[in-house]
Amino acid sequence: MEKVIKDQRHAIVKGLAEANELEAMAAILKKMPAVEVAEILRELPHEQILQLLPVFSREDLGYIASNMDMELLMELFDLVDRRLFGRIFTNMSSDVRADLYQELDKDQQLELLPFLDKKTREDVIFLSSFPEETAGSIMITDFATIRSDMTINRAIEKIRQDAPSRKMIYYVFVVDENMKMRGFVTLKDIIMAQPDTLVQDIIHSDFVWADVYEDRESVAQKIEKYDMVSIPVLNAHRQLAGIVRQDEAIDVIRAEHTEDLEKFMGIVPAAEDMNYVETGVLGHFKRRVVWLSSLAVIGVISGMIIHAYEEAMSALIILALYMPMIADTGGNAGSQAATMVIRAMALRQITLKNWFRILFKEARIAFLLSLVLGIIAFGKILFLSWETEIPLQYSLTFIAVAISAALSLQVISSTVIGAGLPLLVKRLGGDPAVAASPAITTIVDITGLLIYFGMATMLVL
């Protein structure tokens, strides 16, 4: 129902935009959530965007701009007056501000800085100084602090002075005179306490925190693990430098999952999020061609193996019929094992110290799978190939046993390879996701052909 209402609003606004009814459109936009307004503005001509901006307050413009993609923000920078953009920039979320500031070149930064107040200038320069993959790069400075020796009444006055956004008011951080973190209180704690109660009487001194140089994925995992609205970020002196919000953690987790998925499928990760529709054919080509070309070259080995057993296939055509079944089953088994192991490593459920136990467990799982798949393959061969011409000296039943046995061994080897390769790559300091689907499929194809023809040669020929 909510989606229907949203679609209806968007349709109405789009119709008003086409009719150039800007006043009516502005009245609707002012009642809509900032994220939806940002989506709509992206679809409008630049002229209409410039006419609509003045109808919003500075605070609303900041919320809207914080939900825009970087491309549109850069376009706005070129379009609007620097003074107006400075006002928008000042009211944006501090982490988005820092990202945008880093996107600007030196000349553009120098053009913008004179129109920012001292606090905003210092804040954006400070946040822009941290490496991209760290907690410091995604933290914000929009938070409230109080002292432990304050009464609840005085603490409320201090919170009003800090004026954090409504998103960041749930946690209030307790610091000393040097901004060293002592703990936190929640908004509920403050509301329920008596006005003359001291903050030190209700403080939560046992808290989870992140270091400014800690990997941002680790920070996101902490927020997820402890179900936090935000997490304090401390420097080397345990001073409160900023906080990372839950919504930023979700963005980090989503970005990391996207990167892992791309690596898993042999796609070179992009430097930043890429829109599928807006990315050109050449852009997609460059990201996919590297792995596919490399694996195609390695796949020549498969051709060499088949060529070496050409006489065997000439003697028994039935062997060629079931090569795809062996390859597909091995690839699927290897990819399944790799997926489970990579996911377990990402969730920190397993470590490299457990490698033998992991491989032994996967081998036992593979043995059970091989029994089921071997029986299915045996029945499939007898059912589909009972009319296939076979030389008199060979028995279809015996051939079915040989092929089924080869498939069972392929399942076991593929599963162990699928589980072991990510562990090996991790041990060598690489990303386990890189060792996943395409690489494993190519490797198990090679081992599968060796097992298949080796078994056929030994048992049949």
pTM: 0.64
How is residue 151 annotated by DSSP?
Answer: B
Alpha carbon distance 175, 142 (integer Å)? 15
Q: What is the CATH number of the domain that holds 232?
A: 3.10.580.10
- Does residue 184 lie in a domain region? yes
Residue in 410, 339, 399, 401 with CA at minimum distance from that of residue 369 = 410
Last residue in a domain, options 245, 278, 308:
245
Residue pair 170/187 in contact by the 8 Å Cβ criterion? yes
Alpha carbon distance 434, 398 (integer Å)? 40
DSSP letters, 403-424, are: HHHHHHHHHHHHHHHHHHHHHH
Q: 140 has which bridge partners?
A: 243
- Does residue 275 lie in a domain region? no
Question: Do 447 and 308 belong to one domain?
Answer: yes
Question: Do 114 and 164 belong to one domain?
Answer: no
Question: Do 103 and 168 belong to one domain?
Answer: no
Low-confidence ranges of the chain (pLDDT < 50): none
Q: What is the CATH number of the domain that holds 309?
A: 1.10.357.20
- Element (DSSP H or E) covering residue 215: none
Alpha carbon distance 417, 369 (integer Å)? 15
Whole-number pLDDT of residue 376: 94
**Contacts by residues 10-18 (CB-CB < 8 Å, ≥ 24 positions apart):** 10/36, 10/39, 10/40, 13/40, 14/40, 14/43, 17/44, 17/48
Is residue 366 helix, strand or coil?
helix
Last residue in a domain, options 96, 129, 162:
129
How deeply is 327 buried, as exposed, middle or buried, from its count of CB atoms within 10 A (0-12, 13-18, 19+)?
buried
Instruction: Provide the domain count of the chain.
Output: 3
Question: Do 350 and 379 belong to one domain?
Answer: yes
- Does residue 451 lie in a domain region? yes
- Does residue 266 lie in a domain region? no
Q: What is the CATH number of the domain that holds 6?
A: 1.25.60.10
Alpha carbon distance 47, 36 (integer Å)? 19
Question: Do 125 and 149 belong to one domain?
Answer: no
Whole-number pLDDT of residue 36: 87
Alpha carbon distance 78, 62 (integer Å)? 17
Question: Which sign, positive or negative, has the C-alpha torsion 220, 226, 227, 229?
Answer: negative
Residue in 203, 179, 194, 263 with CA at minimum distance from that of residue 435 = 263
Whole-number pLDDT of residue 240: 93
Residue in 271, 247, 387, 253 with CA at minimum distance from that of residue 318 = 387
Whole-number pLDDT of residue 346: 75
Last residue in a domain, options 95, 129, 163:
129
Residue span of the structural domain in which 216 resides: 145-245
- Does residue 262 lie in a domain region? no
- Does residue 279 lie in a domain region? no
Question: Do 227 and 342 belong to one domain?
Answer: no
Question: Do 105 and 160 belong to one domain?
Answer: no
Alpha carbon distance 258, 273 (integer Å)? 9
Question: Do 211 and 332 belong to one domain?
Answer: no
Residue in 163, 207, 170 with CA at minimum distance from that of residue 190 = 170
Question: Do 116 and 64 belong to one domain?
Answer: yes
Question: Do 414 and 309 belong to one domain?
Answer: yes
Whole-number pLDDT of residue 314: 66
Question: Do 160 and 206 belong to one domain?
Answer: yes
- Does residue 214 lie in a domain region? yes
Whole-number pLDDT of residue 461: 53
Alpha carbon distance 231, 352 (integer Å)? 29
- Does residue 56 lie in a domain region? yes
Question: Do 69 and 213 belong to one domain?
Answer: no
